[in-house]
Amino acid sequence: MSLPLRLHPARLPPPHKEPSFALPNNLCTGHGLWLSTEGGSEIRPTTPREDHVNFIIIVSDTLRRDHLGLYGNDWIRTPYLDRFAERCIVFDRAYTGSFPTIPHRTDVMTGRYSFTYTDWAPLQRDITVLSQALGAAGYLTYMIVDTPHMIRDGFYFDRGFSGWQWIRGQEGDRYLTAPAAVEMPCSPEKLRETTRTVSQYLRNTSLRQHEEDYFAPMTMRTAEHWLERNYKQQPFFLYVDTFDPHEPWDPPQYYTDMYDPGYEGEEVTYPIYGPATYLTEAELKHMRALYAGEVTMVDRAVGRLLQKVEDLGLLDDTCVIFTTDHGFYIGEHNLTGKVVMLYEEVCHIPFMVRMPGGAGARRSASLIQPADIMPTLLELAGAGDPGTMHGHSLAPLLKGDDRPLREVAVSSWAIIHEPKERGPLTTDPYTWFKQAWGLKPSTVNDGEWALICGARDVEPELYHLPSDPAQRHDVFAQRTDEAKRLHAAYLEFLESVGTQEQFIARRRELPVA
């Protein structure tokens, strides 16, 4: 049988009825919504404007920009997103901010660069979040996720939403307990976190029979069903978050066969993070096919949701945003995974916005980041500014004003940690990850040059992107002038968002040969 939709165990709805959800403290539903941040100031309600705008945000985790046709890929099939992009403002210079998964979601929900003051941590209760601010403006707010990290273990990303659903089972989610024994897809030493994550994931997915039982299709279908029941309750804000195409990669076989038919070797579905030397060429090629198959599956699922938005007549008064948090190395830079340096494959992200009616569709070269989402939506909604955001509203840009928003985009691991002792990284793929994980570099990008820098334990690198888009030629030693300019902009940025001096001090010096 098909896997049933699973909600939080304590919040299962009665059969055949609209889910009834427990709500955070100080939250009442409906258009008389009022909220207060826990330990913070009250968010005063506003009256929805007659020309209200609905919002739908779709986040697809670990989706590489260069794997979409709309960004130039010519071998992976993504027809639905490519077609959607034709009526969007497509951003060619969108870069992640705080890295990776949870820090990125914190940026989205708070409009702040969380890497400057925290790390992978629960959503803070004393900072105004997007769902609260839109709720206070009269919006019905709803969240649908299969990305487990947002909900499990008290991470509290449901805060402020009128309701939410969690599709269970992704990655290492402690969901199913049978079958006790599972068959690994390859030699266990090629997998990351075999016992805790891969074994659990194989149990969680053991009941699959059809494509509709996979996570991205389940999550997007759940969003379709919510829209069918709620689309007349306007204005609304729907947040949809799928962990696909994050590893483990196990799309339906027919999607993988599109890109590597006839393969009979081991399938490395949850690879070690480190040098790719543990893989054969055939295994690495098949990894790319597995990932590409996931991308195509996500495209199909998102396409069905977008069709539902159109079928319900919502396109004329709904703003739809599609994006990701970061990418993944599949052999580039001789790496598998997403650590440690934030090169283009990881920090350069897809980002597109469809305005109501498809107005203003074009390509934009403006530098934008996830922290810009909250101020943008609040301005478009006519909601108040809580005075806590770091990001810039994209509203003027979405309406045709292409003046630059920022000089540089900064993508970064959390900078709050003490640096490690400086030294060369091991080349052993089985121990590299533990050594590299302690490094917390930042990438500073002005659209032409990209500087990778950090504390004293990070060897700086500099790349000229127009002539070296694959970042194979480090020119730091030859162009220290550009490196110093970007580093100065980096320090200015950190100061501008109120970063504590103890964190900035570790990064003030740029080693120059």
Average pLDDT over residues 66-70: 98
Average pLDDT over residues 24-30: 28
pLDDT at 434: 84
pLDDT at 423: 74
Task: Kindly report which listed range (95-99, 145-149, 398-402) carries the lowest average pLDDT score.
Answer: 398-402
Where do the structural domains in the chain lie, given as residue ranges? 9-406, 410-505
Q: Which helix (H) or strand (E) holds 351?
A: strand 351-354
Cα 42 to Cα 128: distance, rounded to the nearest angstrom:
9
Q: Taken in order 180, 183, 187, 191, is the CA torsion positive or negative?
A: negative
Residue 411, sorted as left (phi over 0), alpha (psi -120 to 50) or beta, turns out to be beta
pLDDT at 20: 28
pLDDT at 47: 54
pLDDT in tens, 184-232: 999 999 999 887 899 999 999 999 999 999 999 999 999 999 999 999 9
How far is CA 238 from each of CA 58, 124, 197, rounded to the nearest angstrom?
9, 21, 29
* Selection from 179, 155, 180, 152 nearest residue 167 by Cα: 152
DSSP 137: T
pTM: 0.91
The burial class, CB within 10 Å (0-12 / 13-18 / 19+), for 129 is buried
* pLDDT over 90, % of the chain: 84
Residue labelled with tokens 């390859």:
186
Cα 33 to Cα 101: distance, rounded to the nearest angstrom:
30
Under 8 Å between Cβ of 197 and 270: yes
pLDDT at 411: 98
pLDDT at 50: 60
Average pLDDT over residues 233-254: 98
DSSP 297: H
The yes-or-no verdict on residue 96 having pLDDT over 90 is: yes
What average pLDDT is seen over the chain?
A: 90
In the chain the first and final C-alpha atoms are separated, in Å, by 63
Residue 374's pLDDT band, with cuts at 50, 70 and 90, is: very high
The yes-or-no verdict on residue 4 having pLDDT over 60 is: no
pLDDT in tens, 434-464: 888 889 999 999 999 999 999 999 999 999 9
Higher pLDDT, residue 23 or 134 = 134
How far is CA 389 from each of CA 14, 102, 117, 255, 370, rounded to the nearest angstrom?
39, 18, 13, 41, 12
pLDDT at 513: 59
Residue 74's pLDDT band, with cuts at 50, 70 and 90, is: very high
Q: Which CATH fold would you assign to the domain 410-505?
A: Arylsulfatase, C-terminal domain (3.30.1120)
pLDDT at 467: 98
Higher pLDDT, residue 426 or 323 = 323
For helices 101-110 and 373-381, give the axis angle rounded to 10 degrees: 30
Provide the pairing of β-strand 318-323 with 351-354.
antiparallel
pLDDT at 33: 33
CATH architecture of 9-406: 3-Layer(aba) Sandwich (3.40)
Task: Kindly report which listed range (21-30, 115-124, 204-213, 358-367) carries the lowest average pLDDT score.
Answer: 21-30
List Cβ neighbours of 161 (8 Å cut-off, separation of 6 or more): 131, 135, 141, 142, 143, 239
DSSP 338: S
pLDDT at 427: 86
Tokens, residue 348: 């350069």
- Bridge partners, residue 238, by sequence: 56, 142
List Cβ neighbours of 251 (8 Å cut-off, separation of 6 or more): 214, 290, 293, 294, 296, 297
The yes-or-no verdict on residue 339 having pLDDT over 90 is: no
Average pLDDT over residues 396-401: 94
pLDDT at 436: 87
Tokens, residue 45: 């309600």
pLDDT at 35: 40
Alpha carbon of residue 215 to chain centroid? 16
pLDDT in tens, 155-176: 999 999 999 999 999 999 999 9
